[in-house]
């Protein structure tokens, strides 16, 4: 398995709209494995293929504390959104920035697994928020696009200065692990 390079803001490739996966072959299987390797090495909870410059609708997520619950979502569709909440997010592609985003906190989702087998599941809390964050990546959207106007202005100014927009969370004790 290989740890993949992660594209960082303002790389224009992060704005690419991903294509649906149509072939479930060895190349796809390798990409899934490499994305998990990258996710765990980065101590993140979610990764979209867009972030590793592979523009297909593929997401890997593991929100468990002991990194024991890898989930793959291919060509994901949100069937139902319920219960809105505001959650502080961060992103591997926008290092050092955290911000509150309004998201649904309960979802019904349909997707394909790594073998192309369809499934439906209910997600809530961190997993629901993380999946929406990753689906945004597949559409070329970053969580900073969803921040309030004033917060966006502050983030942009700080990033231009090369600084950190908001103090990052404690190492290892992040409330909003990168995604
Ligand atoms: Ni992200």
Domain assignment present for residue 172? The answer is: no
Ligand 1 mean position, distance from CA 89 (Å): 9
Of the residues 8, 89, 134, 170, which is catalytic?
A: 134
**At residue 7, does pLDDT exceed 60?**
yes
Q: Which segments of the chain are extended strands (E)?
A: 46-48, 58-61, 71-89, 99-112, 118-124
Angle 17-96-88 from CA coordinates, rounded to 5°: 75
pLDDT at 104: 95
Q: Is residue 2 part of a domain?
A: no
pLDDT single digits (tens) 46-91: 999 999 999 999 999 999 999 999 999 999 999 999 999 988 999 9
Q: Is residue 179 one of the residues assigned to a domain?
A: no
What's the CA-to-centroid distance between 131 and ligand 1, angstroms? Answer: 10
Please write the tens of the pLDDT for every residue from 19-36: 999 999 999 999 999 999
Contacts 24+ apart (CB under 8 A), 21-25: 21/56, 21/57, 21/58, 21/74, 21/75, 21/112, 24/112, 24/114, 24/115, 24/116
Closest CA to 140 of 3, 9, 21: 9
**Whose structure tokens read 């103090």?**
167
- Sign of the dihedral defined by the CA atoms of residues 166, 172, 176, 178, in that order: positive
Number of domains in the chain: 1
Residue 49 is encoded by which pair of tokens? Answer: 């293929």
Expressed in angstroms and rounded, the spacing between residue 27 Cα and the centre of ligand 1 is 23
Give me ligand 1 centre to Cα 170, in Å.
18
CA of 100 to the centre of ligand 1 (A): 13
Q: Is the dihedral of CA 59, 61, 39, 112 positive or negative?
A: negative
Q: What is the domain extent for residue 34?
A: 12-164
**What per-residue confidence (pLDDT) applies to 173?**
33
- Alpha helices per DSSP H over the chain: 26-41, 126-138, 149-160
171, part of any domain: no
Q: Is residue 85 part of a domain?
A: yes
CATH of the domain at 97: 3.90.45.10
* Position 117 in a domain: yes
**Span from the CA of 133 to the centroid of ligand 1 (angstroms):** 6
pLDDT at 170: 35
User: Is 46 contained in some domain?
Assistant: yes
Which of residues 174 and 94 earns the better pLDDT score? 94
Over residues 8-20, the pLDDT tens digits come to 999 999 999 999 9
- How many other C-beta atoms lie within 10 A of the C-beta of residue 20? 11
158 included as an active-site residue: no
Any domain includes 132: yes
């Amino acid at each position: 398995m290989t740890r993949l390079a992660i594209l960082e803001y303002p790389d224009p490739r992060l704005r690419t709209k991903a294509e649906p996966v149509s072939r479930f072959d060895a190349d796809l299987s390798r990409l899934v494995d490499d994305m998990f390797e990258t996710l765990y090495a980065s101590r993140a909870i979610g990764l979209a293929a867009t972030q590793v410059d592979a523009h297909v609708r593929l997401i890997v997520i593991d929100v468990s504390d002991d990194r024991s619950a890898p989930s793959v979502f291919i060509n994901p569709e949100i069937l139902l959104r319920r219960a809105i909440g505001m959650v502080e997010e961060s992103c591997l592609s926008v290092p050092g920035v955290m911000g509150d985003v309004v998201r649904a906190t309960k979802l019904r989702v349909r997707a394909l697994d790594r073998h192309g087998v369809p499934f439906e599941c209910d997600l809530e809390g961190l997993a629901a928020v993380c999946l929406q964050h990753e689906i945004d990546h597949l559409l070329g959207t970053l969580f900073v696009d969803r921040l309030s106007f004033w917060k966006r202005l502050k983030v942009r100014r700080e990033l231009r200065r090369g600084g950190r927009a908001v103090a990052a969370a404690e190492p290892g004790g992040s409330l909003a692990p990168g995604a």
